[in-house]
Structure 1
C-alpha cells in the first residue's frame, strides 16, 4: 500500500505544482492584459479558479498523508500511549469527512455535467471531480496512517516516541 500511496503522492505533487504555476501565470497575464494592454480576458478567471481548486484539493490530500495539517497537542510528549491513542482517534475522526468528499463530491460532479462555465463553456464537472478524486486518495492515505498508528499504539512503550514519529513521516 505504501508504494501505491507514494506514487499517488508524487503524481499529486507534480500535478498540483503544475496547476499552481498555471494559476500564477494566468493571473499575471490577466493583470498585464487589463492594466497595460487594455484588453479584457474573460477566460482567465475560470482557468485560474479551476487550477487553484485542483491544486488546493490535491495538496490537502498530500498534507493529510504527511501529517501537516494543524494538530493541537493536548498532553505533553511523555504521555506516549495516550498521545498515540489520541492520534489514532483523530485519524478515525477524519473518515466521515472523507466519506462526504467521496460520496457527495461524486454527486456534485454528476450534477456538474449539466452546468457549464460562463466564458469557457466547459462542464463544471471538470472542476468538481477533484473533490472525489482527492477524497479517494485521502482514504488510501488514511488507511496507511491508521495502520501505522495502530501498530505504534500496540507497540506501547517498546519504542520511543521519536522512533515512531520518524517512522510515520514519509
Structure 2
C-alpha cells in the first residue's frame, strides 16, 4: 500500500514535468508555424506535426493525471443518493473494474505497439518514426493503471474502516 502510494506520487511528479514541457513546446511550435506561414509566406514543415504530437502526448498524460488527482469526469447522480456504506462499496468496485480495464487496455496497447507495421511507420512531413507518437498510449495507460491500483488500495482500506473515498 505504501509502495503504490510512493510510486503513484513519483509518477504524478513526472507527469507534471512532462506536461509543463509539452504544452509550451506545443505553443511555441504553433506560434512559429503561424509566423512563418503568414508573415514570411514560408511555412515550416515541422510546426503542425510538433504541435499535434505534443497535444496528443499532453492529453494522454493529462488523462492519467486526472485519475491521480481524482478529477476525472464521473456521473455521480446515482451514487450520491446511496448510504455511505453502499456508496463506499460501489466506488471501490468501480475503481477495481477501472483498474482491471486499464490493465487490459495496457496489455492490448503493448501488443499493438510491437506490431511490425507500427514499428515501420514514419510521419508524413518529418519522417520521424511514429513509434514516438504511439508510445504515449501504453505509457499513459501504465501511469493510469498505477494510479488506479493506488486508489483501489486506498478505497479498500477506507471501506474496511467504514469510510468513503472522495
TM-score, with length taken from structure 2:
0.87
What are the Cα deviations for residues 61-94 of structure 1, in whole angstroms up to 9, with x where unaligned? 1111111111222144672111111111221221
Which of 41, 56, 62 is 1:38 aligned to?
A: 41
User: Within 5 Å, which residues of 2 pair with 1:1-170?
Assistant: 1-73=4-76, 74-76=78-80, 79-111=83-115, 112-156=118-162, 159=163, 164-165=165-166
Alignment partner of 1:99: what SS?
helix
Runs of 4+ in 1 over 4 A off after TM superposition: none
Verify the 8 A CA contact 1:101 1:131 in the aligned structure 2.
no
Unaligned runs of 5+ in 1: 166-170
Verify the 8 A CA contact 1:61 1:134 in the aligned structure 2.
yes
Q: Could you tell me how far apart the structure 2 residues matched to 1:81 and 1:107 are?
A: 39
Q: How far 1:96 moved relative to its partner?
A: 4.3
By relative contact order (CA 8 Å, sep 6+), the higher-ranking structure is 2
What are the Cα deviations for residues 107-148 of structure 1, in whole angstroms up to 9, with x where unaligned? 332243210011111110000111111111111111110011
Verify the 8 A CA contact 1:110 1:125 in the aligned structure 2.
no
Count of matched residue pairs: 160
Unaligned runs of 5+ in 2: none
Q: How far 1:99 moved relative to its partner?
A: 2.9
Q: Could you tell me how far apart the structure 2 residues matched to 1:103 and 1:47 are?
A: 27
Q: Choose 87-96 or 73-82, whichever is displaced more.
A: 73-82
